[in-house]
Chain A
Amino acid sequence: MTAIGRMVRRGLGAIAAALAVLLAGAAAAADAPLVAAAADLRFALSEIAERFRRDTGAAVRLVFGSSGNFARQIRQGAPFAVFLSADEAYVFDLARDGFTEDEGTLYGIGRIVLTVPRGSPLALDGTLDDLARAIRDGRLRRFAIADPEHAPYGKRAEEALRSKGIWEAIRPFLVYGENVAQAAQFATSGNAQGGIVAYALALSPQLESLAGHALIPAAWHAPLRQRMVRLRGAGPVADRFYGYLQEEPARAIFRRYGFVLPGEPVTE
Protein backbone atom coordinates (compact mmCIF):
# COMPACT_ATOMS: atom_id res chain seq x y z
CA MET A 1 0.00 0.00 0.00
CA THR A 2 2.75 2.43 0.88
CA ALA A 3 4.49 1.66 -2.42
CA ILE A 4 1.37 2.74 -4.26
CA GLY A 5 1.05 5.80 -2.08
CA ARG A 6 4.59 6.76 -2.98
CA MET A 7 3.81 6.26 -6.64
CA VAL A 8 0.79 8.52 -6.38
CA ARG A 9 2.83 11.19 -4.68
CA ARG A 10 5.69 10.89 -7.16
CA GLY A 11 3.20 11.13 -10.06
CA LEU A 12 1.60 14.26 -8.62
CA GLY A 13 5.03 15.78 -8.06
CA ALA A 14 5.97 15.20 -11.70
CA ILE A 15 2.71 16.78 -12.90
CA ALA A 16 3.26 19.82 -10.67
CA ALA A 17 6.84 20.25 -11.93
CA ALA A 18 5.73 20.01 -15.56
CA LEU A 19 3.02 22.59 -14.97
CA ALA A 20 5.42 25.02 -13.31
CA VAL A 21 7.53 24.91 -16.50
CA LEU A 22 4.45 25.43 -18.66
CA LEU A 23 3.17 28.37 -16.60
CA ALA A 24 6.54 30.10 -16.79
CA GLY A 25 6.30 29.79 -20.58
CA ALA A 26 2.74 31.14 -20.66
CA ALA A 27 3.86 34.31 -18.89
CA ALA A 28 6.16 35.07 -21.83
CA ALA A 29 3.29 34.94 -24.38
CA ALA A 30 3.51 37.32 -27.33
CA ASP A 31 1.70 40.65 -27.06
CA ALA A 32 2.06 41.88 -30.67
CA PRO A 33 -1.24 43.36 -31.91
CA LEU A 34 -3.61 41.00 -33.69
CA VAL A 35 -4.59 41.69 -37.28
CA ALA A 36 -7.68 39.92 -38.64
CA ALA A 37 -7.46 39.71 -42.42
CA ALA A 38 -9.66 38.38 -45.20
CA ALA A 39 -8.37 35.08 -46.55
CA ASP A 40 -7.49 36.54 -49.97
CA LEU A 41 -4.70 38.51 -48.25
CA ARG A 42 -2.94 35.41 -46.93
CA PHE A 43 0.12 35.73 -49.13
CA ALA A 44 0.18 39.49 -49.83
CA LEU A 45 -0.24 40.53 -46.18
CA SER A 46 2.28 37.98 -44.92
CA GLU A 47 4.84 39.63 -47.21
CA ILE A 48 3.86 43.11 -46.05
CA ALA A 49 4.03 42.12 -42.37
CA GLU A 50 7.49 40.64 -42.90
CA ARG A 51 8.64 43.88 -44.54
CA PHE A 52 7.04 45.91 -41.76
CA ARG A 53 9.00 43.91 -39.22
CA ARG A 54 12.26 44.49 -41.13
CA ASP A 55 11.60 48.23 -41.57
CA THR A 56 10.32 49.09 -38.10
CA GLY A 57 11.35 46.24 -35.81
CA ALA A 58 7.74 45.94 -34.63
CA ALA A 59 5.67 42.80 -35.14
CA VAL A 60 2.01 42.04 -35.71
CA ARG A 61 0.22 38.68 -35.49
CA LEU A 62 -1.88 37.81 -38.54
CA VAL A 63 -5.06 35.74 -38.47
CA PHE A 64 -6.75 34.81 -41.76
CA GLY A 65 -10.37 33.82 -42.26
CA SER A 66 -13.66 34.86 -43.80
CA SER A 67 -14.61 38.51 -43.34
CA GLY A 68 -18.13 37.64 -42.17
CA ASN A 69 -16.80 35.40 -39.40
CA PHE A 70 -14.35 38.06 -38.23
CA ALA A 71 -17.12 40.67 -38.10
CA ARG A 72 -19.16 38.33 -35.89
CA GLN A 73 -16.17 37.57 -33.64
CA ILE A 74 -15.40 41.29 -33.24
CA ARG A 75 -18.96 41.84 -32.04
CA GLN A 76 -18.42 39.06 -29.49
CA GLY A 77 -15.33 40.76 -28.12
CA ALA A 78 -12.46 39.21 -30.10
CA PRO A 79 -9.23 41.11 -29.25
CA PHE A 80 -8.30 42.25 -32.78
CA ALA A 81 -6.60 45.63 -33.31
CA VAL A 82 -6.92 45.95 -37.10
CA PHE A 83 -9.49 44.33 -39.40
CA LEU A 84 -8.94 44.04 -43.16
CA SER A 85 -12.28 43.05 -44.68
CA ALA A 86 -12.83 41.80 -48.23
CA ASP A 87 -16.22 43.56 -48.20
CA GLU A 88 -16.46 47.11 -46.90
CA ALA A 89 -20.07 46.58 -45.77
CA TYR A 90 -18.81 44.66 -42.72
CA VAL A 91 -16.57 47.61 -41.76
CA PHE A 92 -19.40 50.15 -42.12
CA ASP A 93 -21.70 47.97 -39.96
CA LEU A 94 -19.04 47.68 -37.24
CA ALA A 95 -18.34 51.43 -37.41
CA ARG A 96 -22.04 52.25 -37.07
CA ASP A 97 -22.27 50.09 -33.94
CA GLY A 98 -19.23 51.72 -32.35
CA PHE A 99 -16.70 48.87 -32.56
CA THR A 100 -14.11 50.82 -34.60
CA GLU A 101 -11.99 53.97 -34.32
CA ASP A 102 -13.49 55.43 -37.51
CA GLU A 103 -14.88 54.29 -40.87
CA GLY A 104 -11.45 53.08 -41.97
CA THR A 105 -10.00 53.35 -45.43
CA LEU A 106 -10.24 51.53 -48.76
CA TYR A 107 -7.07 49.48 -49.40
CA GLY A 108 -7.89 47.80 -52.68
CA ILE A 109 -10.44 46.37 -55.04
CA GLY A 110 -10.25 42.62 -55.48
CA ARG A 111 -10.86 40.53 -58.57
CA ILE A 112 -12.08 36.98 -59.02
CA VAL A 113 -10.58 34.38 -61.34
CA LEU A 114 -11.43 30.97 -62.69
CA THR A 115 -8.73 28.64 -61.38
CA VAL A 116 -8.05 25.37 -63.17
CA PRO A 117 -5.55 22.87 -61.72
CA ARG A 118 -3.04 21.11 -63.95
CA GLY A 119 -4.56 18.04 -65.58
CA SER A 120 -8.13 19.29 -65.32
CA PRO A 121 -10.34 18.84 -68.41
CA LEU A 122 -11.57 22.45 -68.06
CA ALA A 123 -10.24 25.15 -70.40
CA LEU A 124 -8.74 28.33 -68.96
CA ASP A 125 -11.61 30.48 -70.13
CA GLY A 126 -12.53 33.58 -68.11
CA THR A 127 -15.78 34.06 -70.04
CA LEU A 128 -16.95 30.76 -68.43
CA ASP A 129 -18.23 29.48 -71.81
CA ASP A 130 -16.21 26.30 -71.44
CA LEU A 131 -17.41 25.89 -67.84
CA ALA A 132 -21.02 26.03 -69.07
CA ARG A 133 -20.22 23.36 -71.69
CA ALA A 134 -18.42 21.20 -69.11
CA ILE A 135 -21.56 21.11 -66.93
CA ARG A 136 -23.54 19.75 -69.89
CA ASP A 137 -21.03 17.26 -71.29
CA GLY A 138 -20.12 15.70 -67.96
CA ARG A 139 -16.51 16.93 -67.67
CA LEU A 140 -17.36 18.81 -64.48
CA ARG A 141 -17.69 16.76 -61.30
CA ARG A 142 -16.81 19.25 -58.55
CA PHE A 143 -16.33 23.01 -58.55
CA ALA A 144 -15.13 25.02 -55.52
CA ILE A 145 -16.19 28.48 -54.37
CA ALA A 146 -16.12 30.17 -50.95
CA ASP A 147 -19.31 30.05 -48.86
CA PRO A 148 -21.51 32.89 -50.23
CA GLU A 149 -23.20 33.22 -46.82
CA HIS A 150 -20.28 34.86 -45.07
CA ALA A 151 -17.31 35.01 -47.47
CA PRO A 152 -17.33 38.04 -49.83
CA TYR A 153 -15.46 36.16 -52.57
CA GLY A 154 -18.11 33.44 -52.42
CA LYS A 155 -20.82 36.05 -52.82
CA ARG A 156 -19.08 37.54 -55.87
CA ALA A 157 -18.52 34.08 -57.36
CA GLU A 158 -22.25 33.41 -57.04
CA GLU A 159 -23.03 36.76 -58.71
CA ALA A 160 -20.69 36.00 -61.62
CA LEU A 161 -22.21 32.52 -62.09
CA ARG A 162 -25.70 34.10 -62.02
CA SER A 163 -24.65 36.74 -64.58
CA LYS A 164 -23.50 33.92 -66.82
CA GLY A 165 -26.85 32.18 -66.27
CA ILE A 166 -25.34 28.91 -64.98
CA TRP A 167 -25.90 29.26 -61.21
CA GLU A 168 -28.78 26.77 -61.00
CA ALA A 169 -27.03 24.34 -63.33
CA ILE A 170 -23.74 24.37 -61.41
CA ARG A 171 -25.17 24.19 -57.88
CA PRO A 172 -25.19 20.36 -57.65
CA PHE A 173 -21.45 20.40 -58.41
CA LEU A 174 -20.40 23.04 -55.90
CA VAL A 175 -18.19 22.49 -52.85
CA TYR A 176 -17.99 25.40 -50.44
CA GLY A 177 -14.83 26.54 -48.67
CA GLU A 178 -15.23 28.19 -45.26
CA ASN A 179 -13.22 31.09 -46.73
CA VAL A 180 -11.67 31.77 -50.13
CA ALA A 181 -8.28 30.24 -49.23
CA GLN A 182 -9.96 26.97 -48.37
CA ALA A 183 -11.95 27.18 -51.62
CA ALA A 184 -8.62 27.59 -53.46
CA GLN A 185 -7.23 24.58 -51.61
CA PHE A 186 -10.31 22.52 -52.59
CA ALA A 187 -10.10 23.71 -56.21
CA THR A 188 -6.44 22.76 -56.63
CA SER A 189 -6.24 19.63 -54.48
CA GLY A 190 -6.96 17.44 -57.51
CA ASN A 191 -10.41 16.54 -56.15
CA ALA A 192 -12.22 19.25 -58.15
CA GLN A 193 -11.93 20.35 -61.76
CA GLY A 194 -11.69 24.02 -60.83
CA GLY A 195 -13.11 26.89 -58.84
CA ILE A 196 -13.61 30.62 -58.56
CA VAL A 197 -11.14 32.22 -56.17
CA ALA A 198 -9.38 35.50 -55.40
CA TYR A 199 -6.95 36.84 -58.00
CA ALA A 200 -4.59 37.64 -55.11
CA LEU A 201 -4.39 33.97 -54.16
CA ALA A 202 -4.06 32.76 -57.76
CA LEU A 203 -0.98 35.01 -58.18
CA SER A 204 0.84 33.45 -55.20
CA PRO A 205 3.77 31.16 -56.04
CA GLN A 206 2.09 28.34 -54.06
CA LEU A 207 -1.03 28.42 -56.25
CA GLU A 208 0.70 29.23 -59.52
CA SER A 209 2.69 26.01 -59.23
CA LEU A 210 -0.56 24.02 -58.98
CA ALA A 211 -3.04 25.77 -61.25
CA GLY A 212 -3.63 28.29 -64.02
CA HIS A 213 -6.09 31.16 -63.79
CA ALA A 214 -8.16 33.45 -65.99
CA LEU A 215 -9.76 36.74 -64.90
CA ILE A 216 -13.55 36.86 -64.87
CA PRO A 217 -14.98 40.17 -66.23
CA ALA A 218 -15.29 42.67 -63.36
CA ALA A 219 -18.67 43.83 -64.71
CA TRP A 220 -20.27 40.46 -63.88
CA HIS A 221 -20.33 41.08 -60.14
CA ALA A 222 -20.46 43.89 -57.60
CA PRO A 223 -16.96 45.28 -56.95
CA LEU A 224 -14.98 43.72 -54.10
CA ARG A 225 -14.31 46.97 -52.31
CA GLN A 226 -11.93 46.00 -49.52
CA ARG A 227 -11.72 48.24 -46.49
CA MET A 228 -9.52 48.16 -43.41
CA VAL A 229 -10.18 49.72 -40.04
CA ARG A 230 -8.64 50.05 -36.61
CA LEU A 231 -10.81 48.60 -33.87
CA ARG A 232 -11.47 50.44 -30.65
CA GLY A 233 -8.46 50.39 -28.36
CA ALA A 234 -5.90 49.60 -31.08
CA GLY A 235 -2.46 50.55 -29.71
CA PRO A 236 0.50 52.43 -31.21
CA VAL A 237 1.98 49.43 -33.08
CA ALA A 238 -1.40 48.78 -34.70
CA ASP A 239 -1.58 52.46 -35.68
CA ARG A 240 1.85 52.23 -37.29
CA PHE A 241 0.95 49.08 -39.19
CA TYR A 242 -2.29 50.69 -40.38
CA GLY A 243 -0.30 53.68 -41.66
CA TYR A 244 2.35 51.43 -43.21
CA LEU A 245 -0.31 49.60 -45.25
CA GLN A 246 -1.06 52.87 -47.03
CA GLU A 247 2.58 53.63 -47.90
CA GLU A 248 4.34 52.79 -51.15
CA PRO A 249 6.22 49.58 -50.21
CA ALA A 250 2.93 48.00 -49.05
CA ARG A 251 1.00 49.40 -52.01
CA ALA A 252 3.55 47.85 -54.38
CA ILE A 253 2.96 44.44 -52.82
CA PHE A 254 -0.84 44.83 -53.03
CA ARG A 255 -0.43 45.81 -56.69
CA ARG A 256 1.74 42.79 -57.40
CA TYR A 257 -1.00 40.55 -55.97
CA GLY A 258 -3.52 41.98 -58.44
CA PHE A 259 -5.37 44.48 -56.26
CA VAL A 260 -6.64 47.63 -57.91
CA LEU A 261 -5.51 50.38 -55.54
CA PRO A 262 -7.65 53.37 -54.52
CA GLY A 263 -7.31 56.08 -57.19
CA GLU A 264 -5.90 53.75 -59.84
CA PRO A 265 -7.85 52.53 -62.92
CA VAL A 266 -9.09 48.96 -63.46
CA THR A 267 -7.27 47.19 -66.31
CA GLU A 268 -8.59 44.09 -68.02
Chain B
Amino acid sequence: MDWVALRLSLELAGLTVLLLLPIGVALGRFLAYRAMRGKEILEALVALPLVLPPTVFGYYLLVAFGAASPLGRAWQALFDRPLVFTFEGLLLASVIFNLPFAVQPMQRAFEAIAPDLRAAAACCGMSPWRVLLRIELPLAWPGILTALVLAFAHTLGEFGIVLMVGGAIPGETETIAIAIYDRVQAFDDRAAAQMAMFLLVFSLATIAVTFFASRRVGRRLG
Protein backbone atom coordinates (compact mmCIF):
# COMPACT_ATOMS: atom_id res chain seq x y z
CA MET B 1 0.00 0.00 0.00
CA ASP B 2 1.45 3.34 -1.07
CA TRP B 3 0.41 5.66 1.77
CA VAL B 4 2.02 8.73 0.21
CA ALA B 5 -0.03 8.25 -2.95
CA LEU B 6 -3.19 7.57 -0.96
CA ARG B 7 -2.79 10.74 1.11
CA LEU B 8 -2.04 12.74 -1.99
CA SER B 9 -5.20 11.40 -3.64
CA LEU B 10 -7.31 12.26 -0.59
CA GLU B 11 -5.82 15.76 -0.44
CA LEU B 12 -6.44 16.31 -4.12
CA ALA B 13 -10.01 15.03 -3.90
CA GLY B 14 -10.74 17.01 -0.70
CA LEU B 15 -9.42 20.31 -2.05
CA THR B 16 -11.13 19.74 -5.41
CA VAL B 17 -14.46 19.30 -3.65
CA LEU B 18 -13.88 22.35 -1.47
CA LEU B 19 -13.21 24.53 -4.51
CA LEU B 20 -16.08 23.01 -6.46
CA LEU B 21 -18.67 23.65 -3.75
CA PRO B 22 -18.95 27.44 -4.33
CA ILE B 23 -18.26 27.14 -8.07
CA GLY B 24 -20.86 24.41 -8.49
CA VAL B 25 -23.51 26.24 -6.44
CA ALA B 26 -22.97 29.49 -8.35
CA LEU B 27 -22.83 27.87 -11.80
CA GLY B 28 -25.56 25.31 -11.11
CA ARG B 29 -27.92 27.99 -9.78
CA PHE B 30 -27.11 30.31 -12.68
CA LEU B 31 -27.87 27.58 -15.23
CA ALA B 32 -31.06 26.61 -13.39
CA TYR B 33 -32.64 30.04 -12.99
CA ARG B 34 -31.18 32.45 -15.51
CA ALA B 35 -32.80 32.57 -18.94
CA MET B 36 -30.37 33.77 -21.56
CA ARG B 37 -29.38 33.21 -25.14
CA GLY B 38 -26.68 30.64 -25.75
CA LYS B 39 -27.23 28.89 -22.41
CA GLU B 40 -27.02 25.56 -24.23
CA ILE B 41 -23.46 26.42 -25.28
CA LEU B 42 -22.45 27.05 -21.68
CA GLU B 43 -24.10 23.80 -20.59
CA ALA B 44 -22.32 21.95 -23.38
CA LEU B 45 -18.99 23.43 -22.27
CA VAL B 46 -19.56 22.26 -18.70
CA ALA B 47 -20.50 18.77 -19.93
CA LEU B 48 -17.50 18.49 -22.26
CA PRO B 49 -15.22 16.54 -19.85
CA LEU B 50 -17.91 13.81 -19.72
CA VAL B 51 -17.60 12.99 -23.41
CA LEU B 52 -14.04 14.00 -24.27
CA PRO B 53 -11.42 11.21 -24.05
CA PRO B 54 -9.22 11.95 -21.01
CA THR B 55 -6.09 11.96 -23.17
CA VAL B 56 -7.55 14.63 -25.46
CA PHE B 57 -8.56 16.71 -22.46
CA GLY B 58 -5.21 16.05 -20.78
CA TYR B 59 -3.36 17.11 -23.92
CA TYR B 60 -5.18 20.44 -24.10
CA LEU B 61 -4.64 21.08 -20.38
CA LEU B 62 -0.94 20.24 -20.80
CA VAL B 63 -0.69 22.76 -23.64
CA ALA B 64 -2.72 25.37 -21.74
CA PHE B 65 -0.67 24.98 -18.52
CA GLY B 66 2.74 24.45 -20.17
CA ALA B 67 5.83 26.60 -19.73
CA ALA B 68 5.23 28.15 -23.17
CA SER B 69 1.58 29.10 -22.55
CA PRO B 70 0.47 32.52 -21.22
CA LEU B 71 -1.06 30.84 -18.14
CA GLY B 72 2.08 28.78 -17.50
CA ARG B 73 4.31 31.84 -17.84
CA ALA B 74 2.14 34.00 -15.59
CA TRP B 75 2.08 31.26 -12.94
CA GLN B 76 5.86 30.83 -13.11
CA ALA B 77 6.33 34.59 -12.74
CA LEU B 78 3.93 34.80 -9.79
CA PHE B 79 4.92 31.72 -7.77
CA ASP B 80 8.37 30.85 -9.13
CA ARG B 81 7.39 27.27 -9.96
CA PRO B 82 5.82 25.64 -13.00
CA LEU B 83 2.13 24.77 -13.22
CA VAL B 84 2.51 21.41 -14.99
CA PHE B 85 3.89 18.50 -12.96
CA THR B 86 2.95 20.22 -9.69
CA PHE B 87 0.19 19.62 -7.17
CA GLU B 88 -1.36 23.03 -7.88
CA GLY B 89 -1.54 22.28 -11.60
CA LEU B 90 -3.12 18.92 -10.86
CA LEU B 91 -5.65 20.59 -8.56
CA LEU B 92 -6.60 23.13 -11.24
CA ALA B 93 -6.96 20.33 -13.82
CA SER B 94 -8.99 18.34 -11.32
CA VAL B 95 -11.44 21.22 -10.71
CA ILE B 96 -11.92 21.60 -14.48
CA PHE B 97 -12.44 17.94 -15.33
CA ASN B 98 -14.85 17.53 -12.42
CA LEU B 99 -17.08 20.46 -13.43
CA PRO B 100 -19.84 18.32 -14.98
CA PHE B 101 -19.92 15.96 -11.98
CA ALA B 102 -20.38 18.91 -9.64
CA VAL B 103 -22.51 21.29 -11.69
CA GLN B 104 -25.07 18.97 -13.27
CA PRO B 105 -26.54 17.40 -10.08
CA MET B 106 -26.60 20.84 -8.41
CA GLN B 107 -28.35 22.38 -11.42
CA ARG B 108 -31.01 19.63 -11.37
CA ALA B 109 -31.50 20.15 -7.63
CA PHE B 110 -32.02 23.91 -8.01
CA GLU B 111 -34.37 23.34 -10.96
CA ALA B 112 -36.49 21.03 -8.82
CA ILE B 113 -37.32 23.78 -6.31
CA ALA B 114 -40.88 25.06 -6.94
CA PRO B 115 -40.76 28.60 -8.41
CA ASP B 116 -43.68 29.64 -6.14
CA LEU B 117 -41.56 28.97 -3.10
CA ARG B 118 -38.77 31.29 -4.22
CA ALA B 119 -41.32 33.92 -5.32
CA ALA B 120 -43.07 33.72 -1.95
CA ALA B 121 -39.78 34.11 -0.11
CA ALA B 122 -38.88 37.17 -2.20
CA CYS B 123 -42.39 38.56 -1.59
CA CYS B 124 -41.88 38.20 2.15
CA GLY B 125 -38.93 40.52 1.79
CA MET B 126 -36.15 38.00 2.15
CA SER B 127 -32.89 39.13 0.55
CA PRO B 128 -31.46 36.93 -2.24
CA TRP B 129 -28.71 35.75 0.14
CA ARG B 130 -31.25 34.74 2.75
CA VAL B 131 -33.33 32.95 0.11
CA LEU B 132 -30.21 31.04 -0.93
CA LEU B 133 -29.20 30.10 2.62
CA ARG B 134 -32.65 29.49 4.10
CA ILE B 135 -34.67 28.09 1.19
CA GLU B 136 -32.58 26.98 -1.75
CA LEU B 137 -29.54 25.34 -0.17
CA PRO B 138 -31.53 23.28 2.35
CA LEU B 139 -33.85 22.06 -0.43
CA ALA B 140 -31.04 21.40 -2.91
CA TRP B 141 -28.80 19.72 -0.31
CA PRO B 142 -29.23 16.10 -1.55
CA GLY B 143 -28.22 17.17 -5.06
CA ILE B 144 -25.26 19.12 -3.74
CA LEU B 145 -24.11 16.19 -1.61
CA THR B 146 -24.39 13.83 -4.58
CA ALA B 147 -22.37 16.27 -6.69
CA LEU B 148 -19.57 16.53 -4.13
CA VAL B 149 -19.35 12.77 -3.58
CA LEU B 150 -19.26 12.10 -7.33
CA ALA B 151 -16.50 14.67 -7.81
CA PHE B 152 -14.54 13.23 -4.87
CA ALA B 153 -14.78 9.64 -6.12
CA HIS B 154 -14.04 10.65 -9.70
CA THR B 155 -10.87 12.49 -8.60
CA LEU B 156 -9.60 9.37 -6.83
CA GLY B 157 -10.10 7.33 -9.98
CA GLU B 158 -9.02 9.68 -12.78
CA PHE B 159 -5.98 8.37 -14.62
CA GLY B 160 -5.31 9.76 -18.10
CA ILE B 161 -5.52 13.46 -17.31
CA VAL B 162 -3.56 13.06 -14.08
CA LEU B 163 -0.76 11.20 -15.87
CA MET B 164 -0.52 13.77 -18.67
CA VAL B 165 -0.68 16.93 -16.57
CA GLY B 166 0.98 15.52 -13.45
CA GLY B 167 3.76 13.26 -14.71
CA ALA B 168 3.50 10.73 -11.82
CA ILE B 169 5.90 12.40 -9.37
CA PRO B 170 5.86 10.69 -5.94
CA GLY B 171 4.52 12.95 -3.19
CA GLU B 172 3.60 15.65 -5.70
CA THR B 173 1.38 14.28 -8.46
CA GLU B 174 1.41 10.48 -8.13
CA THR B 175 -2.16 9.63 -7.11
CA ILE B 176 -3.26 6.20 -5.99
CA ALA B 177 -4.63 5.37 -9.46
CA ILE B 178 -1.17 6.09 -10.95
CA ALA B 179 0.56 4.18 -8.14
CA ILE B 180 -1.42 1.06 -9.06
CA TYR B 181 -0.17 1.36 -12.66
CA ASP B 182 3.38 1.86 -11.38
CA ARG B 183 3.23 -1.15 -9.05
CA VAL B 184 2.07 -3.42 -11.89
CA GLN B 185 5.12 -2.35 -13.92
CA ALA B 186 7.34 -3.11 -10.93
CA PHE B 187 5.93 -6.67 -10.80
CA ASP B 188 4.56 -5.82 -7.36
CA ASP B 189 1.17 -7.47 -7.87
CA ARG B 190 0.46 -7.65 -4.14
CA ALA B 191 0.59 -3.88 -3.61
CA ALA B 192 -1.38 -3.31 -6.81
CA ALA B 193 -4.07 -5.73 -5.66
CA GLN B 194 -4.27 -4.12 -2.20
CA MET B 195 -4.66 -0.60 -3.58
CA ALA B 196 -7.15 -1.69 -6.24
CA MET B 197 -9.23 -3.42 -3.56
CA PHE B 198 -9.07 -0.33 -1.36
CA LEU B 199 -10.34 1.89 -4.19
CA LEU B 200 -13.12 -0.58 -4.98
CA VAL B 201 -14.35 -0.77 -1.39
CA PHE B 202 -13.97 2.98 -0.83
CA SER B 203 -15.87 3.87 -4.01
CA LEU B 204 -18.68 1.45 -3.22
CA ALA B 205 -18.95 2.77 0.35
CA THR B 206 -19.06 6.45 -0.63
CA ILE B 207 -21.71 5.88 -3.29
CA ALA B 208 -23.82 3.78 -0.89
CA VAL B 209 -23.54 6.44 1.83
CA THR B 210 -24.63 9.14 -0.61
CA PHE B 211 -27.66 7.21 -1.76
CA PHE B 212 -28.57 6.52 1.85
CA ALA B 213 -28.12 10.14 2.95
CA SER B 214 -29.96 11.70 0.03
CA ARG B 215 -32.90 9.33 0.49
CA ARG B 216 -33.15 10.21 4.20
CA VAL B 217 -32.96 13.92 3.53
CA GLY B 218 -35.46 13.53 0.69
CA ARG B 219 -37.91 11.70 2.97
CA ARG B 220 -37.64 14.29 5.72
CA LEU B 221 -38.33 17.09 3.25
CA GLY B 222 -41.14 15.15 1.57
When C-beta atoms are compared, the residue in chain A nearest to B216 turns out to be A7
Q: Which residues of the other chain, B, contact A22 by a CB distance below 8 angstroms? A: 7, 10-11, 14-15
- Would A18 and B14 count as touching, CB distance under 8 A? yes
Q: How large is the interface on A (under 10, 10 to 19, 20 to 34, 35 or more residues)?
A: 35 or more
In chain A, positions 165-193 with a C-beta closer than 8 Å to chain B are 179, 181-182, 185
- Can you list, as one digit per residue, whether each of A4-18 has a CB less than 8 Å from chain B (1) or not (0)? 110110010001001
Distance of A206 Cα from B185 Cα, bound (Å): 11
Least CB distance, A47 to chain B, in whole angstroms: 13
Q: Is B101 engaged at the interface, CB distance under 8 Å to the other chain?
A: no
- Would B138 and A79 count as touching, CB distance under 8 A? no
- Would B82 and A77 count as touching, CB distance under 8 A? yes
Contact pick for A77, options B66, B172, B220, CB 8 Å: B66
In chain A, positions 5-57 with a C-beta closer than 8 Å to chain B are 5, 7-8, 11, 15, 18-19, 22-23, 25-26, 29-30, 34, 39, 42
- Would B66 and A1 count as touching, CB distance under 8 A? no
Q: Is B128 engaged at the interface, CB distance under 8 Å to the other chain?
A: no
Q: Which residues of the other chain, A, contact B122 by a CB distance below 8 angstroms? A: none
Q: Which residues of the other chain, A, contact B133 by a CB distance below 8 angstroms? A: 5
Q: Which residues of the other chain, A, contact B11 by a CB distance below 8 angstroms? A: 22-23, 25-26
Least CB distance, B219 to chain A, in whole angstroms: 12
| Interface-side segment among B154-162, B163-171, B200-208 | B163-171
Q: Is A76 engaged at the interface, CB distance under 8 Å to the other chain?
A: yes
Q: Is A246 engaged at the interface, CB distance under 8 Å to the other chain?
A: no
Q: Is B177 engaged at the interface, CB distance under 8 Å to the other chain?
A: no
Distance of A263 Cα from B17 Cα, bound (Å): 56
- Would B18 and A15 count as touching, CB distance under 8 A? yes
Are A30 and B187 also in contact (CB < 8 A) when A8-B138, A76-B84 are?
no
In chain B, positions 1-49 with a C-beta closer than 8 Å to chain A are 4, 7, 10-11, 14-15, 17-18, 21
- Would A19 and B14 count as touching, CB distance under 8 A? yes
- Would B15 and A19 count as touching, CB distance under 8 A? yes
Q: Is A219 engaged at the interface, CB distance under 8 Å to the other chain?
A: no
| Interface-side segment among A58-66, A89-97, A130-138, A155-163 | A58-66
In chain B, positions 124-167 with a C-beta closer than 8 Å to chain A are 133-134, 137-138, 141, 145, 167
- Can you list, as one digit per residue, whether each of A58-87 has a CB less than 8 Å from chain B (1) or not (0)? 000111110000000101111100000000
- Would B18 and A19 count as touching, CB distance under 8 A? yes
- Would B170 and A79 count as touching, CB distance under 8 A? no
- Would B81 and A76 count as touching, CB distance under 8 A? no
When C-beta atoms are compared, the residue in chain B nearest to A210 turns out to be B187
When C-beta atoms are compared, the residue in chain B nearest to A182 turns out to be B185
- Would B86 and A185 count as touching, CB distance under 8 A? no
- Would A79 and B169 count as touching, CB distance under 8 A? yes
Least CB distance, A211 to chain B, in whole angstroms: 11
Q: Is B62 engaged at the interface, CB distance under 8 Å to the other chain?
A: yes
Q: Which residues of the other chain, A, contact B169 by a CB distance below 8 angstroms? A: 34, 61, 63, 78-79
- Would B220 and A76 count as touching, CB distance under 8 A? no
- Would A207 and B187 count as touching, CB distance under 8 A? yes
Distance of A79 Cα from B3 Cα, bound (Å): 22
Q: Is B67 engaged at the interface, CB distance under 8 Å to the other chain?
A: yes
Q: Is B221 engaged at the interface, CB distance under 8 Å to the other chain?
A: yes
8 closest Cβ pairs, A-B complex: A77-B82, A206-B187, A4-B138, A77-B67, A78-B85, A181-B185, A30-B171, A22-B11
Which residues of B pack against A, CB within 8 Å? Answer: 4, 7, 10-11, 14-15, 17-18, 21, 62, 66-67, 72, 76, 81-82, 84-87, 133-134, 137-138, 141, 145, 167-172, 182, 184-188, 217, 220-221
6 examples of A-B residue contacts, CB within 8 angstroms: A7-B217, A15-B21, A19-B15, A29-B171, A42-B185, A77-B67
Other than the known A5-B138, A64-B186, A206-B188, what 10 A-B pairs have Cβ atoms closer than 8 Å? A1-B134, A11-B145, A15-B14, A19-B15, A19-B18, A29-B172, A34-B169, A61-B170, A65-B168, A181-B185
